[in-house]
Structure 1
Amino acid sequence: MKTRQPIKHGTSNAYKCGCRCTRCTKANRDACRSYRRKKGIKDIAETGNPCKINSKVYQSQTQAAVAAGVSQSTISWHLNKHGNLDRLGGKRGNPNNSRRKPVQIGEREWPSRSALERYLGVSSGRVHRWIKKGQMDLLLAALLRADGKRGTGETS
């Protein structure tokens, strides 16, 4: 039975066997750069990875990140996910207004139940439960309390 030979550190072979020490990582990086040079592929560290934010072109992702005030990984993520930087700096998530239904109580209207909940100062889903259970008296009481706190009570 053969005994395993210890790996020789500072070689790309050791890196491929799973060693991630500084010497092996450097040896693998140098081997990859040498391979790319032989194939005529320019090194990204030399040329940068040009990218465009709005109409301004930057020579590297790092320069674009500094100009946009975000991290380089954010630039890289946007390029990998979307292929461009058009969404960079936008608000997270997509506001879905299609499900928003206006709520009307008497002559007053709110754009959604959550807007009414914020006005009333009640927890999320409370207005929905009141409406579902037919507890309009609780809803009207909360509305009168909120109007009283704000001083905007309307008389019928």
Structure 2
Amino acid sequence: MSTQCEKRIEIAAPPTCGIFPEDSSGSRLGASRKTIYTVYVRLKVGEDPKYSPGVGRKPSVHFNFLKSAFKKKPNSSIDDMARKIKKSTSAVSWDFKKTGGKSLRRIPRPMLTEQQRKVHMEREKKILNHLKGTCGLIVIFSDAKTFTVNPVFDW
């Protein structure tokens, strides 16, 4: 069983001998018509038929450049940085982790702000007073743990 590179070298021979993709069938060469046509076009342009775009290790990002870029704008996302330096997002994120950086998504942040907590507390008090205050009994909740019952109706 031949490798993909060897198969392309075999296919590259017929166009140089005067056999063009229109004349040759894929079954005779053991390859699809698309592969034959691709090799023929590469030879016509002057490229190497063994070359396959997208194959091989992606170029890595230099750590020093990445560190300086993230120091300038620490709040920028990894996607934006990858777009700016024209690299894949996965390559930038791996290199960023190797430099010791952390993604902003993984930094723990408070779920609610102080203002939101105050508003939630007021709403919770109203809801609890409404639920617990039955039969004319008024229960006043001052915070999450303490409450007082109206002394007039307290038996």
In the superposition, the TM-score normalised over structure 2's length comes to 0.25
Q: Which has the larger radius of gyration?
A: 2
Higher relative contact order (CA 8 A, sep 6+): 2
